[in-house]
């Protein structure tokens, strides 16, 4: 069964460092998403991506964040200069269309120290 | 704006007990409603959904009915199993002008633990 895969499963980084979280969406999907969940809080939408551009982003997704689909299979989330409050579980998701089921990866736990 | 509120957890039940996890929402228009489940070490999986008022979503013995009058989508199961232990998330996806947008708005999640 096709699935969304995320790497790494856990990343520890120092404050101020850049991190790249990687995702491989399901191959025939066209819409890609990043969500995050700070421990004990809600799962929050960060950004959606379609046709090689951002289609929607939340107020959380500021200039420190960027997304890219560099090679037609990977979908990455970059945080340019991490802060302590960026520590969270980051989920990637993909869907075939905007109104079809979104499939989620298992998440990357980012810890900023 | 849109929001989803779930009952506070965690919830601990014995096997074969009845489960209810409450979910209420605030949204403009007529959103689609979802329950996602996250088993330990895995990603979020769609459990069930309902796209219009009075629709009932069901899967694996779980049910939820879209109640527009009470803006609710409570999750129920008549007899839980140990294997149902997971985190359950209620979510909505807005719809505008007949078009559904992809962004999901989630509740905070409810941890369910079922003991033998």
Question: Taking CB atoms and an 8 Å limit, are B44 and A99 in contact across chains?
Answer: no
A45 CB within 8 Å of a chain B CB: yes
Chain B nearest CA to A69, separation (Å): 18
User: What's the mean per-residue pLDDT of chain B?
Assistant: 92
Q: What is the pLDDT of residues B91-105, one digit of tens each?
A: 999 876 555 568 999
User: What does the alpha-carbon distance between residue A20 and residue A89 come to, in Å, rounded to a whole number?
Assistant: 13
User: What does the alpha-carbon distance between residue A76 and residue A105 come to, in Å, rounded to a whole number?
Assistant: 13
Q: Is the dihedral of CA B51, B55, B59, B64 positive or negative?
A: positive
Residue of A99, A101, A94, A95 whose CA lies nearest to A6: A94
What is the per-residue pLDDT for A62? 94
Q: What is the pLDDT of residues B43-61, one digit of tens each?
A: 889 999 999 999 999 999 9
pLDDT digits (tens), chain B, 116 positions: 889 999 878 999 999 999 999 999 999 888 999 999 999 888 889 999 999 999 999 999 999 999 999 999 999 999 999 999 999 999 999 876 555 568 999 999 999 999 99
What is the per-residue pLDDT for B96? 61
What is the per-residue pLDDT for A14? 97
Q: HSE-up of B51 (CA within 13 Å, CB side)?
A: 9
User: What does the alpha-carbon distance between residue A104 and residue A90 come to, in Å, rounded to a whole number?
Assistant: 10
Evaluate whether A33 touches A45 at the Cβ level (below 8 Å): yes
Searching chain A, which residue's CA lies closest to the CA of residue B48?
Answer: A101
Give the list of residues 6+ apart from residue A59 with CB closer than 8 angstroms, or none.
none
What is the per-residue pLDDT for B100? 55
User: What does the alpha-carbon distance between residue B107 and residue A102 come to, in Å, rounded to a whole number?
Assistant: 16
What integer is the mean pLDDT of A53-64? 94
Residue of A55, A46, A28 whose CA lies nearest to A108: A46
């Amino acid at each position: 069964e096709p699935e969304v895969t995320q790497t790494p499963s856990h990343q520890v980084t120092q404050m101020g460092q850049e991190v790249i979280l990687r995702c491989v969406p399901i191959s025939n999907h066209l819409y890609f998403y990043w969500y995050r969940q700070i421990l004990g809080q809600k799962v929050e939408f960060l950004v959606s991506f379609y046709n090689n551009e951002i289609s929607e982003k939340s107020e959380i997704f500021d200039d420190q964040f960027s997304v890219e689909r560099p090679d037609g299979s990977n979908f990455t989330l970059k945080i340019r200069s991490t802060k302590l409050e960026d520590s969270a579980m980051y989920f990637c998701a993909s869907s075939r269309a905007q109104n079809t089921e979104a499939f989620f990866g298992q998440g990357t736990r980012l810890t900023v120290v | 704006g849109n929001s989803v509120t779930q009952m506070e957890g965690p919830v601990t039940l014995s096997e074969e007990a009845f489960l209810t996890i409450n979910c209420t929402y605030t949204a403009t228009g007529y959103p689609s409603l979802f329950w996602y489940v996250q088993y330990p070490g895995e990603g979020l999986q769609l459990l069930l959904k309902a796209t219009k008022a009075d629709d009932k979503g069901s899967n694996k013995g779980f049910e939820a009915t879209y109640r527009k009058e009470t803006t609710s989508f409570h999750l129920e199961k008549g007899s839980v199993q140990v294997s149902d232990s997971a985190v359950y998330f209620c979510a909505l996806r807005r719809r505008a002008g007949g078009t559904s947008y992809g962004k999901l708005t989630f509740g905070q999640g409810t941890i369910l633990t079922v003991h033998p």
